[in-house]
A and B are shown apart, each in its own frame.
Chain A
Amino acid sequence: MFSLEGLTAMIQNWLAANFNPTMVLVLQCVIVILLAITLFAVLGLVLVLMERKVAAHIQIRLGPNRVGPGGMFQTVADTLKLIMKEGLTPDKADKLLFNLAPFVVMMVGMLLLAPIAFAKNFQIWDLNIGVLYISSISSLSVIGILMAGWASNNKYSLLGAMRSGAQIVSYELSAGFAVLSIIVFTGSLQITDIINSQENGWWLFKGHIPAIISFVIFIIAVTAETNRAPFDLAEAESELTAGFHTEYSGMRFALFFLAEYINIFIVCAIGATLFLGGWMPLHIGHWGGFNHLMDYIPSSVWFMGKTFFLIFLIMWFRWTFPRLRVDQLLDLEWKYLLPISLFNLLLATVIAIYGWHF
C-alpha cells in the first residue's frame, strides 16, 4: 500500500547516488522548504473552505458552491482578491514593526512544522526535546501580535492586542500542564518516542482519568490560544474594534488570516500526536489480528484524519457558543483550569509511578 516513508528513502538514495554529500544536504533543504511552503498554502486553502462549509451546514445553509465544483476554488478566488487589494499603512505607524508583524506570526507557524510527524518516518526534524521546542516556539506568537497592535498607531488596536496577549499568555499555562501530564506517562520529550509508546493504544484510552481531563483542558486551552470563539473577544465584530489586525489590509491581512488557520492546524496536530497517537493506527492492547487490520490504512491517512477531526471539533465550538466576556475568560483560566490542571498533573504522576495505567 501507499507509504510516504518509502518515498523519502527513494529520494534520499537517488540524491546520494548523483550528487556529493553537501549538495545532497542543500538539495534536501530546498525540497523541504518547498514542501513546507506548499503545505502552508494548501492547508490554508483547505481550512478556510472547510470553515465556511462547516459553518454553513451548522447554520442550515449551503456555503460556497459556485466557484468550482462544490466551491473548491473559493479560497483561491479570495486569495487573489486579497493580493490585489491596496495595502494601506496608517499615517504615523512604525513602518518596520508594522510590516514585520505578519511575518513573525507566519515564521512561528513554519518553525512549528518541523517536529510534527505527518506519517511514519516522515518528519522534518526529530529532535530529542520535541515537545519543549513546540511549547517554547508557540509562545513567540505573542510577540507578533503585540507588534501588530503597537505599530498600528491606533488605541483600539493596542487594546485588542493587549487583551489578546493576556489571553494567550494565560492559557499557555494550562495547555503546558496538559501536555506535561502526557509526558509524565511517556517519559520522553521526543515525538517519535511518544508515538511509538502508543503502539498498544492511544494515551487518551491508556491514561484513563488524567488523560481525559488533560485532553479536555488541552482543547479548551488551545481554542483560547488561537483566539477562536468562544474566546475571540479580541476580534469580536460587535464589540468596539476588530482587534490587533484592524489596520491591516491586502496581503498582510491575508498573512494574518492564513496564520490563524495554520495555528489551528498545528495545535490540533500536536493534540492528535500526544493524545490520539499521531500516525499510529488504532491498536487495542495486544489483539494481533485487529492491529494488523488497522495497519492496512496508511499512517498519513490516520494522522490527517485525527487532526482534521480535532479541527472540526474546534470549528464546531465557534458556531455553537456565545462569546465570553474578558473577565470571565481570565477567571476561567486562573481560577478553574489552572488548579485543575495542577491537580491533574499530580494525579498523572502518581498513576505513572505506580503503573496504574493500561
Chain B
Amino acid sequence: MTNEAIKEFITAILPTASFDETGEWLNIQIESTQLLTLAKALREGETNMNYLFCLTCVDWKTHLTMVYHFSSIQHRNSIVVKANLDRNQPSIETLSFIWRTAEFHEREVFEMFGVQFENHPDLRKLILEDEFKGFPLRKDFEDPINMIKL
C-alpha cells in the first residue's frame, strides 16, 4: 500500500491526524485518546499492520511522546504512530490485547518513564528492582551516586 492510500485510510477514521513524510516512513501524529481506535483499525483494516516491532517513549523536556512502529507482513511497509503525553500525568491505553508483544514493552516504558497504561493486565516493574524510586530514562532523573556529570 502506498503512503497515499494509508493516509486516506487513516483520515477516514481520524480526521485530525497529522502526517509527516520527511523521514524514511510515514509518521502519524495523533492524540493519546485516539490511539486504541486507530490501532484496532490498523490491525483489522485493509492496512493489515500485524507486527508491532518497536514501542518506546521519548522525553522532550516539555512533554513525553509515545512512539509506535507498526509493520505489515503482507504489504511490506511500515509506519510510525506518535502520541504526545502530558508530563505530569502521562497515561494512555494499552495495546496488549491487540498485539501480545506490547505487554513487555509497555511494562518497560512504565518503569523507565512512568507512563500509566490503562487496562494493562499486569503493570509492574520488569527490569528494575521493585523498590526503585524514580523514572530513569526521563531527562530530569538525578542520581548523585551513579550518574557522573562530565
Touch test A–B (CB under 8 Å): no
- Point out residues on A near B: beta carbons under 8 Å: none
- Point out residues on B near A: beta carbons under 8 Å: none
